[in-house]
Amino acid sequence: MSTSTSPLPSGARSSLWPWLGLALAIIVLDQLTKQWILSVYAHGEGTVVTGFFNIVRAHNPGAAFSFLAEHDGWQRWFFTVIGVGASILIVWLLRRHAGQTLFCFALACIMGGALGNVVDRLMHGYVVDFLDFHWAGWHYPSFNVADMGITLGAICLIVDELRRMRRAKD
């Protein structure tokens, strides 16, 4: 007889930890790379790596593609609350859907990326970006490891949903 009060079987509870570990790994890798950038480059400085890629220290007080970056600072707290709130929802979803591997992988990547950027907002008031891809004078907005986690997670969510829809048709 189990003494646990959790509505989930013990196997489902324990399967939450690998996903939290993945999110933590993304946060740690994100913060290590950002700390390196902060220690090596001044704001706006960079290094040409190839004809289409630079490492450049950029500060983004807004969200994706510098959304709301030009405002007075309230967006720092707004995006921090969104990141923390999304992470709470993600933990709940991870517990409820522990057996859905791709879905949980996607959520863990998104949570790791969101919290990586939340750490920046709390520590600096802006997100540190440094990966700069460009072509023929056009530059894609600079981004970081946290953004890669969020993007990978979003792609995996789409793939998971397409697979779910396909299975429902069969």
pLDDT attached to residue 6: 44
pLDDT tens, residue by residue, 137-166: 898 989 999 999 999 999 999 999 999 999
Top-confidence residue, 56 or 137: 56
* Domain-wise residue ranges, the chain: 15-169
Which long-range contacts (C-beta less than 8 Å, at least 24 apart) are formed by 125-128? 125/61, 125/73, 125/76, 126/59, 126/60, 126/61, 126/76, 127/59, 127/60, 127/61, 128/34, 128/37, 128/38, 128/57, 128/58, 128/59, 128/60
pLDDT attached to residue 143: 94
Across the range 28-56, mean pLDDT stands at: 97
Catalytic residues: 129, 147
Share of the chain above pLDDT 90, in %: 69
109 pLDDT above the threshold of 60: yes
CB 131 within 8 A of CB 142: yes
Share of the chain above pLDDT 70, in %: 83
d(CA 80, CA 158): 25
pLDDT attached to residue 70: 57
**pTM assigned to the model:** 0.84
Top-confidence residue, 46 or 73: 46
Please report which confidence band the pLDDT of residue 169 belongs to, taking 50, 70 and 90 as the band edges: confident
Top-confidence residue, 69 or 38: 38
Min mean pLDDT across 57-66, 97-106, 158-167 is at: 57-66
